[in-house]
Amino acid sequence: MTLIYPRESNQANPPRLFPGYKSTSKRSPQKPLILMRQTLSELTGPVYGHETVRPNDHDLTIQHKGEPLGERIIVHGHVRDEDGRGVPNTLLEIWQANACGRYIHVVDQHPAPLDPNFTGTGRAQTDADGYYRFVTIRPGAYPWGNHLNAWRPAHIHFSVFGHAFISRLVTQMYFPGDPLFEFDPIFNSVLDEKARMRMVSNFDLENTKPDWALCYRFDIILRGRDATPMETK
Amino acid sequence: MAGLTPSQTVGPYFAYGLTPGGKYDWNDAFSNDLVTPDASGDRIRIAGQVFDGDGAVIPDAMLEIWQADGQGRYANPRDTRALPNAAFKGFGRCGTSAKGEFAFDTIKPGVVPDPDGKPQAPHILLAVFARGMLLQLYTRIYFEDEAEKNAADPVLALVPAERRATLIARRSGGGADYRFDVHLQGDNETVFFDV
């Protein structure tokens, strides 16, 4: 099976210049991007084995002596291509604020407490079906300087590789029903509502663990389609 | 057919997860040193800075590179050509410093064919991520000392002549050091590709 990467699929992505998100004004190109044919360079990408992910890297609640404060959650789902096939053995990296909305990053000055038992970063590799699973705590919302009273909806940052360098995706997973959605320019930079809602996880009662943790499902669709159309039976 | 999960910015706080560099209680999955002991080819260092539209350095960008080995072979199953491949993986990641600086230690890639089988000049793919960027930008790093191959490269040929220089890493100092700056915007705006 040979994958192709139709350019049209990129229409789901936000524009590079989105005035509501002020930092885009000086960090987006003003000259046209050069259209080019994809070559072997674009159609290949890094392949990593299990050595990249240690056994407990997917569990952000057991990286320290004690347990982090906050609401323990399971975040799981499938990484799939545009035809719905699972993307096997691909690396996911996540990072997030703690339950109070504070990042451990040295630049984050939000006056909310750090949690000595929470770094807020994890890794997982999808299995043969494209399935992944993290255990973490629900991140808090936090303020930022984009405009007066700007708050980011709670989110988990995701970095995913896929089959090719051009299937690479960095995105953010949101939680259903967040009242901050309508005020957040980063979330709303995705102009198509259906596409925007694909960044919102679904509450997953079926996989919620009784007396332990709520579960959210976040399926991720990366670029890539089968070059040969599927046969109809 | 399912629609893509849209891209969002990497934000200002990715470093502790993606490029911790010993400063956080987390290990690095990737490095800016791609050289493996068995990799053949010329060892090179590519260094530069990332600038915004005001010419200010960007201290919170992440750069990722993807390249073939010295024989022009990608460490990926889609590259099925019968070429030897070392432990060289061809992928590197680097966060910029407070001065917007980055550097990669790697080997000079070999020649890779284009879709028609014509040779492309040695090049490295570069993806740029940063706060204020809602999705990554892709560009290519070519080499000043490959003038003849560059002149015949099918991708460089698509680029207006007056902008090609933004894609060429310049020899700097002695030896195997190259300089490659990235300008996200402005008069010297780097050429980015729609792939």
Which value does ipTM take for this structure?
A: 0.96
pLDDT at A37: 97
In a domain, B7, yes or no: no
Are A121 and B1 within 8 A, CB to CB? no
50-79 of B, contacting A, C-beta below 8 A: 52-54, 56, 58, 60, 64, 66-68, 74-79
pLDDT of B84 strictly over 90: no
Residues of B in contact with A13 (CB under 8 A): 4, 6-7, 134-135
Share of chain B above pLDDT 90, in %: 89
A58 as an active site residue: the answer is no
Q: Considering the domain boundaries, does residue B20 fall inside one?
A: no
Mean pLDDT calculated for residue range B117-138:
98
State the pLDDT at residue A197: 98
For residue A12, which of B6, B157, B20 has the smallest C-alpha distance?
Answer: B6
Total structural domains within chain B: 1
* pTM for this prediction: 0.97
CATH number, domain of B169, equals 2.60.130.10
User: What domain range is B124 assigned to?
Assistant: 29-183
Q: Which of residues 32-51 of B touch A (CB under 8 A)?
A: none
The confidence score (pLDDT) of residue A51 equals 73
In angstroms, the separation between the Cα of residue B23 and the nearest Cα of chain A is: 9
Q: In the numeric block, which tokens belong to residue B169?
A: 């890493």
pLDDT at B70 over 50: yes
Q: Is A142 a catalytic residue?
A: yes
Instruction: Name the token pair of A26.
Output: 């000086």
Q: A155 catalytic, yes or no?
A: yes
Q: Distance (Å) from the C-alpha of residue B1 to the closest C-alpha of chain A?
A: 5
Between A201 and B82, the higher pLDDT residue:
A201
Instruction: Phi first, then psi: give them for residue A218, nearest 5 degrees.
Output: -135, 100
Residue A157, Cβ neighbours under 10 Å: how many? 25
Say which of A5, A76, A78, A103 is annotated catalytic.
A103
Coil, helix or strand at residue A68:
coil
The angle subtended at Cα B13 by Cα B10 and Cα B17, nearest 5°, is 85
Strands (E), A52-100: 72-80, 91-96
Q: Which of residues 97-126 of B touch A (CB under 8 A)?
A: 112-115, 120, 123, 125
| Residue B98 clears pLDDT 80, i.e. is over it | yes
Q: For residue B107, tell me if it sits in a domain.
A: yes
Which is catalytic among the residues A85, A110, A133, A157? A157
Query: What are the φ/ψ torsions at residue A194 (nearest 5 degrees)?
Result: -60, -40
Residues written for chain B? 195
DSSP string across B141-173? EEEGGGHHHHHT-TTGGGS-GGGGGGGEEEE-S
Q: B-chain residues within 8 Å CB-CB of A163? A: 78
Please name which of B60, B63, B35, B36 lies closest in space to residue B47, comparing C-alpha atoms: B63
pLDDT at A230 (0 to 100): 58
- Cβ neighbours of A52 in B, within 8 Å: 29
Q: What is the DSSP letter of A106?
A: T
Select the residue from B1, B10, B13 to test the A interface by mutation, using most A Cβ atoms within 10 A.
Answer: B13
Spell out the domains of chain A, with CATH numbers in brackets: 3-27+55-226 (2.60.130.10)
pLDDT per residue as tens digits for the range A191-211: 999 999 999 999 999 999 999
User: B66 burial class (0-12, 13-18, 19+ CB within 10 angstroms)?
Assistant: buried
The number of CA neighbours under 13 Å toward the Cβ of B178 is 24
| Rounded mean pLDDT for each run of 10 residues along chain A, 233 residues in total | 92 98 98 97 88 92 97 98 96 98 92 96 97 98 97 98 97 98 98 98 98 98 86 49
What six digits make up the tokens of B80? 């099925």
Separation in Å, CA of A208 to nearest CA in chain B: 24
Binned at pLDDT 50, 70 and 90, residue B82 comes out as confident
Residue A67 structure tokens:
């347990």
- Average pLDDT rounded to a whole number, residues B8-27: 95
Instruction: Give the residue among B69, B92, B97 at the shortest CA–CA distance from B81.
Output: B69
Residue B38, pLDDT score: 87
Cβ-Cβ contacts under 8 Å, A19 against chain B: none
**How many A/B residue pairs have CB atoms within 8 Å?**
251
